[in-house]
Amino acid sequence: MPLLRTLTPVSSCADEGAAWRSRDQSPPRLTPPQKKRCKLIHNADSSLSKGNETPKWEVAFFDLDDCLYKNGWATEKRITEKIDTYLTSVLKLDIGSSDRLYRTYGTTIAGLIEEKHISNAEVQAFLDYAHDISLEEIKPDPQLPEMLKKINCRRWVFSNSAPDHVERCLKILGIRDLFEGVIAASSVDMFSRCGYVTKPNPKCFQAAMDIAGAVDPKACIFMDDSVRNIKTAKEIGWHGVLVGLTGRKGEHLECPEAALVDAETQRAETTHQRTVLPELATAE
């Protein structure tokens, strides 16, 4: 896996969805198997592309699902299916309710609370049910731990999933000890801090800084496969790195707000993929 990438111009994006949303279950458009290609793209207006000085990062925040690993959103789809099953089989709601609640209230869980389908006391049971899935599509990458060790700043996982799910995934990947901690937006703790919201809500990003003890937003760098999340990161002063240029439905993504784009080719048989930044690996 090459650690240094060539630089090329950036282009496109669509709404890639968010946590607790009922997504289109049709499989993403697949491209024929081909040799992996890695490109690290600088956006022209990014501060990272101006001058030769490397910023001194304080904290690197990493999204988990389809960022620290890649499996074509297979794990995310399992979670989405469990949420839909909970709503239709346990709560006896209509098919499509998850998407309706998401669009109406911003997150499905906020809608469940607002419409009194579940109580605050039942939130943890809902999260446990939704994340009780097989993780068989997640495979460890032997190069990932060594790569992360070269990133000379504090590292945190910042995920929209539940804490237990994040911990299970990190254990499979063999990298839990390489992170200072886990910030799970879908948790009772985060809901108590921010309300029933997840990324891309700015409240979650501020809470992440508070939990990680980060003071200067300009000293934070953030890796995520969601354009919407990268946009919020930019708005609050973080440097964002978009991981991948292909969306869940095979669409090409565009994110001018990203300081960098990791454009590694995504393939049908690819089960894991990470991003590595020369800027992070050399920052002191």
**C-alpha to C-alpha distance for 132 and 116, rounded to whole angstroms:** 23
Per-residue confidence band for 113, with pLDDT thresholds at 50, 70 and 90: very high
pLDDT, tens digit, for every residue of 197-224?
A: 999 999 999 999 999 999 999 999 999 9
**C-alpha to C-alpha distance for 113 and 42, rounded to whole angstroms:** 42
What proportion of the chain, given as a percentage, has pLDDT over 70? 73
**Is it the case that residue 265 has pLDDT exceeding 50?**
no
Q: Tell me: do 203 and 174 sit in the same domain.
A: yes
Q: Tell me: do 195 and 260 sit in the same domain.
A: yes
Mean pLDDT of 29-49: 44
Q: Tell me: do 112 and 90 sit in the same domain.
A: yes
Here the CATH number for the domain that contains residue 159 is 3.40.50.1000
Q: Tell me: do 145 and 236 sit in the same domain.
A: yes
Number of domains present in the structure of the chain: 2
Mean pLDDT of 225-250: 93
**C-alpha to C-alpha distance for 118 and 109, rounded to whole angstroms:** 9
Mean pLDDT of 182-193: 98
Q: Tell me: do 82 and 67 sit in the same domain.
A: no
**Is it the case that residue 34 has pLDDT exceeding 50?**
no
pLDDT number for residue 24? 36
Number of other residues whose CB lies within 10 A of the CB of residue 197? 23
**C-alpha to C-alpha distance for 4 and 6, rounded to whole angstroms:** 7
For the entire predicted model, the pTM comes to 0.79
Report the side by side order of strands in the sheet with 40-42: 40-42, 260-262, 239-243, 220-224, 59-62, 154-159, 181-184
**Is it the case that residue 106 has pLDDT exceeding 50?**
yes
Q: Tell me: do 190 and 233 sit in the same domain.
A: yes
- Domain span including residue 92: 76-130
Report if residue 24 sits inside a domain.
no
Cβ neighbourhood burial of 162 (10 Å; 0-12, 13-18, 19+)? buried
Report if residue 225 sits inside a domain.
yes
Q: Tell me: do 112 and 238 sit in the same domain.
A: no
Q: Tell me: do 184 and 261 sit in the same domain.
A: yes
